[in-house]
Amino acid sequence: METENRRLLIEGAKAFGIDLNERMMEAFDLYLRELLKWNTKINLTAIRSEKGIVLKHFLDSLSVVPHLPEISSLLDIGSGAGFPGIPFKMVQPSLEVTLIDSVRKKVDFQSHIIRTLGLKGIKAIHGRIQDREILEALGGRFDAIIARAFSDLDTLLLLSFPFLKKGGILLAMKGDSAGEELKRLPLSTRNLYRWIKTAIFSLPFSSIKRSIILFEKI
């Protein structure tokens, strides 16, 4: 990782209250190199620069950590190249993480990174959250669910509901349109959850706007 991008990751993580030690930095560096290498053959991400990956994938993933309550199990829906679930696991090793994505090649990459980094207590599943066999295997198991740019908010809330424990937390990672999506939520969906908060911020050292909406399953 280039020196400037290394500094960006370290200082950006500090902005979210995360101190990355040398072991973590080595893991992020390896993740970055493997992502760039695989991305030359498989379309894992449209972001192809070191700085773009550090900012828009690594730091974007870590931005949720200050808003993540005390949990032991997390489901990452539509995790793509492993974001945000794998960075979560890297900085919170005790967290049990399940990744799910409908694209086999992306799940293969996730599994490769998990093996390469020697991560335990995390698994990558190929499938769709709508699949009956996925629901039968994972229904009602999670303290929290997270999704980054997975779908519209109403769809995400409805699909997540059967996978959360009662009182479980849903974290929806969005751009700067969170307020409008909240306004459009139908009453039938609102009655399934309690809205906790919406956090709006810019990614460190950039003008890129992000928002995180938190709900509790009733």
> Looking at domain 3-217, does it have CATH number 3.60.15.10?
no
Q: How far apart are the first and last CA of the chain?
A: 44
Residue from 151, 42, 62, 138 nearest 96 by CA: 138
pLDDT at 208: 92
pLDDT at 123: 97
Return the domain boundaries, the chain. Answer: 3-217
Residue 80 has pLDDT above 90, yes or no: yes
Residue 178 has pLDDT above 80, yes or no: no
On whether the CB atoms of residues 139 and 164 are closer than 8 A, the answer is no
Does the reported pTM lie above 0.85?
yes
pLDDT at 150: 85
How many CB atoms neighbour CB 208 within 10 A? 15
Contacts of 56 by beta carbon, 8 Å cutoff, 6+ apart: 47, 203, 208
DSSP H helical ranges for the chain: 3-15, 22-39, 50-53, 60-62, 85-91, 104-117, 132-138, 153-160, 178-184, 187-190
Confidence of residue 22 (pLDDT cuts 50, 70, 90): very high
Residue 181 has pLDDT above 90, yes or no: no
Residue 189 has pLDDT above 80, yes or no: yes
Confidence of residue 149 (pLDDT cuts 50, 70, 90): confident
Residue from 133, 68, 134 nearest 100 by CA: 134
On whether the CB atoms of residues 106 and 80 are closer than 8 A, the answer is yes
**Mean pLDDT across the stretch 116-145?**
96
Residue from 151, 173, 152, 141 nearest 62 by CA: 173
Percent of the chain with pLDDT over 90: 93
Residue 135 has pLDDT above 90, yes or no: yes
**Mean pLDDT across the stretch 101-127?**
97
∠91-140-119 over CA atoms, to 5°? 25
Residue 88 has pLDDT above 90, yes or no: yes
Residue 141 has pLDDT above 80, yes or no: yes
pLDDT at 137: 94
Q: What is the mean pLDDT of the chain?
A: 95
